[in-house]
Structure formats: structure tokens, C-alpha cells
Copies of this chain bind each other. A is one copy, B any other.
Amino acid sequence: MHDDKFEIDERLSSESFKLIDLKLSRVLLMDNVLFPWLILIPRKQNLTEIIDLNTQERMILMEEISLLSDVLMKVFSPDKLNVAALGNIVPQLHVHIIARYKNDIAWPESTFGKAKKAYTTAERLDIMDALIKLLSAHQFDG
């Protein structure tokens, strides 16, 4: 299902950290301490829209969106989740799953185009550890 020639657009990889590969998608943590923010990127070349995936892949994408939603709820107990596939700036298909709080700096607006602040290394390693622990049962080994 995945594609060995798959590469992540540099604009996504430069501001995020890889957490794990799921069956269809790579999971990234956005390097932004202001919002707990994951990105799913299906590991195939030349995808722009959800409908560029076939039916089976779309079902798996929905499962992976749900998995990341569950994990964000468990780790961060947010007030709301935001799920979005936009791609106006980086066309490579990617889905944002973001934990939102009623007292975060962008609420109730979306987080897109809002402030960013990098994690400290210690903060980031703590969060990556907690997330990878919950995601690793679903890790893709192939």
C-alpha cells in the first residue's frame, strides 16, 4: 500500500518530528508547543486530495484519523479536536489533527496561520514518548 519513493514535502518535515509509521500514513508532531498538533501523511507519491486515495485507503485514513483523535484525547484531554485536510500552501495530502482548548491563544479560531513556538527538547521528548507509547501498538512494520 505504501510507496518506497514516498517523500515528505520539505515545508512539512522542516517544522515537525516523525513519530511513527502507521499502515497507510506517517505520523508527525508539529513543532509547536502552543497546540498539541499531529499530522498524518499517507505514504504514497503524488497525492493531493483525499479522493486521490482509493476506497480502501480512504477507510484506513479514517481509522488513522480516529486513532490519532483517541490518542490526543487520552494524552491531552482537550476541549475540542480540529481535523482538517487543506493543502493550499503544501499540496501534498496531509491531515491535521489538533487538540484545542478554550483558553488556547487561537480559540475559537482555527490554528492555521497562527503563532508558533518550538518545543524545548525536554518538552518535546516527553510528549513524543507519551504519543509513541500509545501509537506503537499500531505501528507498521513493513
A residues lining the B interface (CB < 8 Å): 48-51, 55, 58-59, 61-63, 65-66, 69-70, 73, 80-89, 91, 100, 107-110, 112-113
Residues of B within 8 A of A112 (CB): 109-110
Q: Are B82 and A110 in contact (CB under 8 A)?
A: no
Residues of B within 8 A of A59 (CB): 59, 62
Checking B83, B91, B100, B109 against A84 with a beta-carbon cut-off of 8 angstroms, the contacting residue is B83
Q: Are A91 and B83 in contact (CB under 8 A)?
A: no
Q: Are A109 and B113 in contact (CB under 8 A)?
A: yes
Ranked nearest first, the 10 interchain pairs of A and B with the lowest CB-CB distance are: A84-B84, A88-B108, A62-B62, A83-B85, A51-B69, A82-B86, A89-B108, A110-B112, A58-B62, A51-B66
Residue of B with least CB distance to A48: B80
Residue of B with least CB distance to A79: B88
Residues of B within 8 A of A84 (CB): 82-86, 110
Name 29 interchain pairs, CB-CB below 8 A, sorted by A. A49-B69, A49-B81, A50-B62, A50-B65, A50-B66, A51-B66, A51-B69, A51-B73, A51-B81, A59-B59, A59-B62, A61-B62, A80-B87, A80-B88, A80-B91, A81-B85, A82-B86, A82-B87, A82-B88, A83-B84, A83-B86, A84-B84, A84-B86, A84-B110, A88-B100, A88-B107, A109-B112, A109-B113, A110-B110
